[in-house]
Amino acid sequence: MLTRAYAARYVRQTCRPRIAAQVRAERGNMARHLITHTYAERERALAEGTAPPHATWEHTADALTDALVGLLTAPVTPPIPPRSTPGPEDHRGGYLTAALATTSPARPLTTRPAL
């Protein structure tokens, strides 16, 4: 049976050597959820009779192992630095903030500036 201590030790031993402790802990939690939900979904499908006939427990374990290796050994994406001065763009890259600032009752609200 997979215990939290075993999973934590496995993550420490298999993750990239210079991975930050916080990233290692996050990936350990993701791995634990992936294992739990993968097997729970397989059990549910078997109980309902909807599991593919060619998928065996061994196949499920192999696929799960591949996914875990990818998760635990993936490089860390560097954080995006915050902008020093926020622009008029909203979080989707549009011009909603600028449009709201210049909207009057006579002018309809637009999300992009007129060309």
Q: pLDDT tens-digit profile of 42-81?
A: 999 999 999 887 789 999 999 999 999 999 889 888 888 7
Q: Which of 11-15, 57-61, 85-89 has the lowest mean pLDDT?
A: 85-89
Residues 15 and 61 both lie in one domain? yes
Task: List the one residue out of 68, 67, 63, 66 whose CA is nearest residue 52.
Answer: 63
Q: Residue 23 in contact with residue 80, Cβ under 8 Å?
A: no
In the chain, % of residues over pLDDT 90? 34
Q: Residue 11 in contact with residue 24, Cβ under 8 Å?
A: yes
pTM given for the model: 0.56
What pLDDT is stored for residue 29 in this prediction? 95
98 vs 23 pLDDT, higher one: 23
Residues 94 and 69 both lie in one domain? no
Residues 62 and 93 both lie in one domain? no
Domain assignment of residue 90, given as a range: 82-115
Residues 67 and 99 both lie in one domain? no
91 vs 67 pLDDT, higher one: 67
Residues 10 and 50 both lie in one domain? yes
